[in-house]
Amino acid sequence: MSNSSSLLAAVRDRGRRAAGRLVHRGWGLVQKVGAVSNRNPGPYRFRELGDGTKLAFPLGAVFNEQWITIGPFSIIGERVTISAGFLPGLDLGPEPIVRIGGGCVIGRGSHVVGHESITLGDDVWTGPYVYITDTAHSYHDTGLPIGKQWPRNAPVEIGSGSWIGTGAVILPGARLGRNVVVAAGSVVNGEVPDHAVVAGAPAKVVRSWSELDGWQPPLRHEPPAAIPEGVTAEQLRALIGWDLRLPGEGQAS
């Protein structure tokens, strides 16, 4: 390769790298500005959007947000759909349809689709692409397309502290207790007691806890080490790089 060709290739490489950096910086700025919070609600008017809560940009389908409440310090991932009712512009009555508690994390690409009542307690975390709905298509009328038949609704409740694994589906009428683990890919219907692990399609209890017997079957691994007593927020920030201050608090001295 001649010197001129080498020089031209080097210039093109530098140009592509510079363009790549510019695109990523620009997209980062778009994500930052487009994120929704109670201080930067954009076009959305949620019934309640708590302090410290953020919906990442780009959002999924969000409509009838006047019937949606999200508590404080929750994180809603990119492309998460949260909807109330069948379609935008409906009057859904005086009460919220979808209630998401404080400290929740909803993974990227998940759907929370409420027509009657969906309630997530505090500190409910999900993996990506989880589907939570309180409505199911009916197929009673064999002469009418299923998509045109009136659906069946049943309230959904997910207890505080629960973890919903990647790709799980929570069906109408499901009622999960506190600190329930739903394995990835599970399909959950019906009642799930507190402190249970469910897996499968349909999901079944595969492990449970009681004060008398502890975990049954017994856990196969030791619990992770707890944070040592006396560790300060400043030390945690230095260790993991998270800013643990509440909104409005000043810089650490």
Nearest to 161 by CA among 171, 174, 176: 176
Three-state SS for the chain is: CCHHHHHHHHHHHHHHHHHHHHHHHHHHHHHHHHCECCCCCCCCCCCEECCCCEECCCCCCEECHHHEEECCCCEECCCCEEEECCCCCCCCCCCCCEEECCCCEECCCCEEEECCCEEECCCCEECCCCEEECEECCCCCCCCCHHHCCCEECCEEECCCCEECCCCEECCCCEECCCCEECCCCEECCEECCCEEEEECCEEEEEEEECCCEEECCCCCCCCCCCCCCCCHHHHHHHHCCCCCCCCCCCCC
> Which residues does 38 contact at the CB level (< 8 Å), separation at least 6?
49, 50, 51, 53
Known catalytic membership, residue 111? no
Catalytic residue among 137, 140, 195, 221: 137
- Residues annotated as catalytic are 137
